Amino acid sequence: MVEPTEHRGRSHFLAERYVSTASPELAHRDAARVSAASREQTEGGTAVRYLGSTLIPSDETCFSLFEASSAEDVRRLLERASLPYDRIVEAQRIDTDDSPKEAR
């Protein structure tokens, strides 16, 4: 799968956070805040694309996926959105179109 030119040099990052009151309503509000913050232009012109979140209520955990140039860019976005996080790690997104040719 070939990435569009504007996405080359960018990686996926996963922000993990623990939420003591894991509710879908709160998760939707948090997602709206992050989405709105990701549409704002930053001072340096750095764009972070919010790709969505996964809430795991039984573990009181929420994972949010981003496309960005660095984990630091994601951290700045989460701070602008006033959204706490426990860690940010680089991740590899696996889609069915990305499977190795020999497995097809």
Going by pLDDT thresholds of 50, 70 and 90, the confidence category of residue 24 is confident
Q: Do residues 94 and 85 touch, judged by C-beta distance below 8 A?
A: no
- CATH number of domain containing 44: 3.30.70.3090
Going by pLDDT thresholds of 50, 70 and 90, the confidence category of residue 6 is very low
Q: How many domains does the chain have?
A: 1
Beta-carbon contacts of 78 under 8 Å, excluding residues fewer than 6 positions away, are 15, 34, 84, 85, 88
pLDDT digits (tens, 9 = 90+) for 8-23: 568 999 999 998 776 7
Residue 98 maps to a domain: no
* Secondary structure (DSSP) of 42-83: PTT----EEEEEEEEGGGTEEEEEEEES-HHHHHHHHHHTT-
Residue 1 maps to a domain: no
pLDDT digits (tens, 9 = 90+) for 34-59: 999 988 866 667 789 999 999 998 88
Residue 102 maps to a domain: no
Residue 104 maps to a domain: no
Quote the domain boundaries for residue 58: 9-93
